[in-house]
Amino acid sequence: MPTEVPEMTLRQLLDSEKDELYFDGHPVTPPKSEFDDSWLSLEWKRYLIWDISELEFRYEMLSLAMNMRRWYPNKDDLHEIPDIEYFNMVKECWSEGLEALKPTDTNWLCSSRPEQRIPAVRSFAQLMRTWPRAPEMLRAWDNHWDVNTPVPDIESPEYEELERAVWHCYLQSYHDFRGRPAPLPYVRPPRPFAYDSSL
């Protein structure tokens, strides 16, 4: 005999939890009713969409990278790097500090600051270099693999070619292995709350 699940409206659910909702430790005012179309400011909506999109990009990229090792157990260059070092290589693609996967700021891959973007793009290229077919797609990097070799200025056509090769390699590899368009990182919109880096 199937048990009946009591139906609960959004309002009842929210009322049963607490007076305030929280996102990343920041209060979010609950909707006035379950039909409240004005709930959440445009700033909050933009931020939440960015957060979800960025999480998708990071987890999908990590999943693809780690699965490459599983799918190609005999590809030496994929396995000569210890697991934790390989995991950290993935995280270096979006920031220098090896923070957790949870996004808190703009992904360095789409940063406008050269001191962030160039190392992130180079890390992404180095990570993908071990993937099948990637060396052919990353030929533009042949003279730039060494971290001591300077990369052209971020505004130059030479740098644009390097970055285009990286994104082409990622998009093509993702589509080849997942059979769908790849998620992408986006610039973080302004935070709808006062930022406290200690949270």
Query: What digits encode the pLDDT tens for the residues 96-105?
Result: 665 667 787 8
List of E strands, the chain: 21-23, 26-28
Helices (DSSP H) in 18-95: which residue ranges? 42-71, 76-79, 83-92
Residue numbers of the domain that contains 94:
42-178
Cα(95)–Cα(111) distance, rounded to whole angstroms? 10
Q: Is residue 112 part of a domain?
A: yes
Model confidence at 30, pLDDT cuts 50, 70, 90, reads confident
Does residue 198 form part of some domain? Answer: no
Q: Is residue 59 part of a domain?
A: yes
Structurally, how many domains does the chain consist of? 1
Average pLDDT value for residue range 44-62: 93
The answer to whether position 196 is within a domain reads no
- The one-letter amino acid code at 23 reads F
Residue 166 lies in a domain: yes
Residue 122, amino acid:
R
| 191 located within any domain | no
Query: Across residues 180-198, what is the average pLDDT?
Result: 84
**Percentage of the chain exceeding pLDDT 90:** 50
Instruction: Determine the Cα angle at 60 with ends 59 and 62, to 5°.
Output: 65
- In angstroms, the CA 172 to CA 162 distance is 16
Cα separation of 154 and 82, whole Å? 32
CB-based contact 190:43 (threshold 8 Å): yes
**What is the reported pLDDT for 164?**
97
Tell me the pLDDT of the chain averaged across its residues.
Answer: 85
Does this model's pTM top 0.85? no
114 touches 154 (CB < 8 A): yes
Establish if 96 belongs to a structural domain: yes
Q: Answer yes or no: is pLDDT of 64 > 90.
A: yes
Residue 189 forms part of a structural domain: no
